[in-house]
Copies of this chain bind each other. A is one copy, B any other.
Amino acid sequence: MIAVLKRGTTPKQKQHLIHWLKQMNLDVHVSDGEHVSVLGLVGDTSRVDMELLSSLEIVESVKRVSEPFKQANRKFHPEDTVITVGNVKLGGGHFAMIAGPCSVESENQIIEVANAVKAAGADILRGGAFKPRTSPYAFQGLKDEGIRLLVEAKKTTGLPIITEIMTTRSLDLFEDVDIIQVGARNMQNFDLLQELGKINKPILLKRGLANTLQELLMSAEYVMSQGNDQVILCERGIRTYETYTRNTLDLSAVPVLHQLTHLPVVIDPSHATGKSSLVPSMACAAAACGADGIMVEVHNNPSCALCDGAQSLTPEQFDILNQRIQKVREAVK
């Protein structure tokens, strides 16, 4: 960590600061320039409060030169993490297609979609049981019944299942769930992250609406620091000024995260774009830049003409997409 002191800092102030830093078990290297002094802090700087340090009167700026995440850091763990659920592997060259409806609505629905996506090549079944909704008056999901139906679909198809958790209080219900999803709104629900760090199950962690990639990695670190190193990162669009798409899919997250961390990276083009007509293009783009998996919404309802344009693909569209994605993966090998 590097701290640049302001022009005009007195020697006494500088000594105060150095003394304070040394009390934190840091070595301090001083480099005095014409206009500024630079302090190089060596040691375990992950506990140093950068914001406090930056805000001191005499400090011009502070810069980390090593990343504050450790267990998620590729520097200390060069090999890719591979997540295994049932017969499916994700990460380290293994690619998984995660598909299913936005919400679990009924036994018929989830079994039908599960069969359809399995036939079309999906590896993992998704479906929302607990639904985070902006409005308290909107449908909040089938909750425990939704999870029960997902587990039925898993028994029927053999597909591993993934679904979202919203509070530690419902953790018991997730026993037969294969991957627990933490939604964008809970990416910095640190209490939830820490509890999920104590269990032995993969966690799919979605990037928050306006969180940086470093903050995403720090949230992964919250899980990993408690002992659970099975974390999958998921980019699902960030909030920008552009309103044509629901969010702005930040695909550069894929190569950036692959440089910074050994954890696998999944892309969710359905939530990112909010429009099914954009999903196939962005899914192919995700595969082309090296994503370890793609999570898309697929609905059934072949009879419901109304739903054709929703965020969800039909099973037929998913089937075609799946084939194109395999070709794209071949192309960039």
Residues on B with C-beta less than 8 A from A169 are 168, 191
CB closest chain-B residue, reference A249: B252
Copies of this chain, whole number = 4
Residues on B with C-beta less than 8 A from A284 are 288-289, 331-332
Whether the Cβ atoms of A241 and B255 lie closer than 8 Å is: no
Q: Scoring A residues 26 to 60 as 1 if CB is less than 8 Å from chain B, else 0, what string do you get?
A: 01010101111010101000110101101111111
Which stretch from A84-92, A127-135, A152-160, A172-180 is at the chain B interface? A127-135
Which stretch from A61-69, A104-112, A198-206 is at the chain B interface? A61-69
Is A82 in contact with chain B by the CB < 8 A criterion?
no
Is A145 in contact with chain B by the CB < 8 A criterion?
no
> For the complex, what is the distance from the CA of A194 to the CA of B133, rounded to whole Å?
12
> For the complex, what is the distance from the CA of A23 to the CA of B305, rounded to whole Å?
16
Size range of the interface on A? 35 or more
A173 to chain B, nearest CB (A): 13
> For the complex, what is the distance from the CA of A2 to the CA of B181, rounded to whole Å?
34
Contact of A248 among B13, B132, B248 (CB under 8 A): B248
Whether the Cβ atoms of A47 and B289 lie closer than 8 Å is: no
Q: Contacts A2-B4, A31-B29, A194-B136 given: A248-B242 contact, CB under 8 Å? A: no
Whether the Cβ atoms of B17 and A36 lie closer than 8 Å is: no
Contact of A212 among B42, B186, B241, B305 (CB under 8 A): B241
> For the complex, what is the distance from the CA of A310 to the CA of B61, rounded to whole Å?
13
